[in-house]
Amino acid sequence: MLPAAALVLVALGWPMLRQFIMSFQEFGLAQQFGQPPTWVFLDNYATIVKDPYFWAVLAKSLGFCAWTAGWTMILAVLFALLMRAASPVVRTAMNVVLIIVWAMPLMASLTLWQWLVDPNFGLVNHALVSMGLEQFAGFSWLANSFWTFYLIASAVIVWASMPLATISIYAALTQVDEAQIEAAQLDGAGYLQRLRHVIMPTIAPVISLIGVLQVIWDLRVFTHIYVLQGAGGISTETNLLGTYVYQVGIAEGDYGMASALATIILLITLVITGKYIHMLFTRGEVN
């Protein structure tokens, strides 16, 4: 494992170390052209902590993460149970659909979603107007408010995240002991009782692990939000942690402040990752 570990340290360790060092420096455009950086130590962190906008973005990011991860897991469990109950032909078709959605390039899927919610020619507005909701004629989901923007963004993220979660949970469902289910059925347990007392306890470790990973992924979401912002979103109101770091570092050229922000995000992610590793070992998934 030494060559692989060395490659990871070179590819990820050095940039992470540079980020950590830069978070204690005033590192702007002048430093990009050769001027030595100035050490400010904890000033960047103090500025971030005192900034109300950071706390607003953090709150939105955590809330958005909980919303998208929660709906992803709920729909993935329901879809996996549906696959388990379906006939082999239908199950194969559902698997194919999931794989197609999962394999679709992200930019292609985001372009498709932009077309769907286009104010003038989008299918969503057309369907709503056809139902008599005339107020949606020319309605811009991505520019009207941050609530409608997040609604579309969460739909995009849940749609893209569901396939992997569903396939993982379905794989766990195939390991449920059929003898236990039959025994519960013979004892008079209905479907919901079998689901609650036999099936869910068996697959709970997998659901928990996938759920924690989903939170980690959704907390660091960037591309979906950035592309949708470019299609009409209000960036100052719709920023999440990923796009906020990009705005401060790339758009404003304040790499020291952006590095401090990225370090804070890293610390939050490490806390959740620590929980994931703890769950991984205590649930007996790693031998």
Domains (ranges, CATH) in the chain? 38-282 (1.10.3720.10)
Q: At what angle do helices 146-173 and 88-103 cross, to 10 degrees?
A: 130
Could you give the CA distance from residue 28 to residue 38 in angstroms, rounded to a whole number?
Answer: 10
Convert the pLDDT of each residue in 205-220 to its tens digit. Answer: 889 889 888 988 888 8
Instruction: Band the pLDDT of 233: cuts 50, 70, 90.
Output: low
Query: The pTM is what?
Result: 0.84
Residue 32: pLDDT above 80?
Answer: no
- H or E element that contains 25: strand 25-26
Identify residue 210 by its one-letter amino acid code. I
Convert the pLDDT of each residue in 154-210 to its tens digit. Answer: 999 999 999 999 999 999 998 888 888 888 888 888 888 888 888 898 898 889 889
